[in-house]
Chain A
């Protein structure tokens, strides 16, 4: 708003906005604080804010004395793998639908989105059995495939809305100037499409990293990523609060940082371009 607000009003709204934002953020902050406390300090009553015994020990313990690095690595492989595989299949499809639209393109896009509305529990049993029989159960490859298929409609939709904004005239102009198809792809299309592909990739890594249904159903220990690991960390009963917090902080920090970088694209990505 261009209107100059009175300093008093600006002060009050700033105060209120920061208060609300801190309340929303507080659970994450409290978890991070707890992760740096000793176990005794973490459950002290009344709660200790600044007077706590601070330590890095929890991070060392979690990293060295559990299978944490394996869960972390599984998360990386599964989220990045499923996203790259999804992009490989989705880019040509979104490309074709954006630049060579047919009469049925819109119906096709709708149908793809509708597969996303199929409840995961409905396909859980067959998938569970198929995975058991084919040896995909509790393997990284199995989860890469499952999460790729789960997110494919979103990947296609996001790419479609990005590609749609590349003006077709530019392609025609390049062709008029005698650019070969190869030159057209390398020098005209790719540079224009790259930002859209990059933000699609970022958002889908986030979605796959945080997925907590298929990862719980389709793994036991070998291929379990962080989401399944934390979910099974049942009832830590007081004594392990600080370590649980440290494990949780390590599980969300990479994605939190990625997410902060991609928050602008998040809106248009997840609303399929309806809100920009």
Chain B
């Protein structure tokens, strides 16, 4: 009953929001060229799809997203594990981390363009950097936090090598913490996708910039909502995967 009521309230809230949004340009309170009413969005969306632009932009953005996420998360997990397992590694990298970590991912845009040009690789690079630090710290912390008693179990059964310790205990025990980091990274990576593409790498961000220079704000909104939908999709899928991976938890 409560759930039903809150769903009804949420729907009513969204409806009121759309109504307000529709009213502002329609009543002439805002220039429709600056804020297109929501009723014009479906037509703009269908038009983009018909032109084939939407599919193309979404596909290239997704490929940047997935590749960047894969590279950044892969490196973050690998180095985070090393740093969590070996004190000497953490010590040796401590100041490098302190130096590089505060640099925002977007500050790498100039180098991304110099090194890779306005190419997909540049977008992948920017995304990967943003993802890397989140996953690195999540992994390092998760490994550090593994119950030492469980590590002893592995030792007591003769699994004393670092590799056995990693695969049999540390990695599975750290998985919940790593997944929390990955989920944060999932959101962070979307921001990086748009940012990287706004500099011209073809994709959703580039198409938005193109549309806005023509003042086709309805198209801009189409892609804003597209990103919201894609992120929602990824996040939902990730939560499902997370639930399955952590099905052993109470």
**A and B, one complex?**
no
Name B residues whose Cβ lies closer than 8 Å to a Cβ of A: none
Name A residues whose Cβ lies closer than 8 Å to a Cβ of B: none
